[in-house]
Structure 1
Amino acid sequence: MAIIQLGSESEYIRITLRSPYNTEGWCRAKVDIALPCFSGHIEPWLEAGDIERFAAELQQVHELLKGEAKLLPREEQFTLHVQAGIGGHITICGVAWSGATYGDKLQFSLELDQSYLRTTLSQLASAASPK
């Protein structure tokens, strides 16, 4: 299992890839969201290409301290939009649905410092590498 976390130990979005991409490039994930006064989880399906694209875009955001990275799976049950702002501030906005774009919907936002991205990028590299 690979774990990818954006944020601190108390406020985060954590993606746990439960199995290798063995179902035609798809992987079941568990997404935990912990924010002030809220915590929850969903279990979307992600494709290997989703993680690889997000990793490449997030690497650019980290290196240039500008731009954005998006995790936009085909089913859109869980999406992330990471944007770099002035002074190394990072804003993460996202949407989580209880089902693939149906059921209960959570829109969330998390602010962090760009220093948190280093660990996330290392985790993404491990998740994207062949096993």
Structure 2
Amino acid sequence: MPAIQLGSESEYVRISLRNPHPTEGWCQASVEIVVPCFSGRVEPWLEAGDIERFEAELKQLYQSLKGEARLQPREEQFTLLVQAQAAGHITVSGVAWSEATFGNKLAFAIELDQSYLPSTLSQLAVATSAK
């Protein structure tokens, strides 16, 4: 099961793809969010193109240290925004819903530096090549 992690060992968002070979263009994920004082897990469905777009945008962000990368599936049960800030700082933020845009909601933000992105990009490359 390919996994994609943004963050450190103590603060992170980890996306594990349950079926790396998409079923009719969709794959189920298990998303674990761990931030100070809170943690949660949701199991959204993602379209294969969502991950591919996110990988391309994150690669561009890392190369230029400008802009943003979004993972925003159609159902929006889980959304992720990675933004480049001044001096190589990276903000990872998002929202996770217990159901697709209703029920309990966890909004989160993690501060990183660009040195965390190469391993995430490698994990994304493995995930997108597994299809």
1:48 maps to 2:48: yes
Give the Cα–Cα distance (whole angstroms) in 2 for the partners of residues 11 and 94 of structure 1: 14
Root-mean-square deviation over aligned CA pairs: 0.9
SS in 2 for 1:52: helix
Q: How does 1:1-131 map to 2 (within 5 A)?
A: 1-131=1-131
Give the Cα–Cα distance (whole angstroms) in 2 for the partners of residues 42 and 69 of structure 1: 21
Q: Residue type of the partner of 1:49? A: G
> What is the Cα deviation at residue 106 of structure 1?
1.0
Give the Cα–Cα distance (whole angstroms) in 2 for the partners of residues 71 and 20 of structure 1: 17
Gap regions ≥5 residues in structure 1: none
TM-score by length of 1: 0.97
- Between the two proteins, what is the percent identity of the paired residues? 70
Higher mean alpha-carbon deviation, 86-95 vs 21-30, is at: 21-30
TM-score by length of 2: 0.97
> What is the Cα deviation at residue 130 of structure 1?
3.9
SS in 2 for 1:23: coil
Give the Cα–Cα distance (whole angstroms) in 2 for the partners of residues 59 and 24 of structure 1: 26
- The answer to whether the Cα contact below 8 Å between 2:52 and 2:128 also exists between their aligned partners in 1 is yes
- The answer to whether the Cα contact below 8 Å between 2:27 and 2:45 also exists between their aligned partners in 1 is yes
SS in 2 for 1:13: strand
- The answer to whether the Cα contact below 8 Å between 1:42 and 1:97 also exists between their aligned partners in 2 is yes
Q: Residue type of the partner of 1:50? A: D
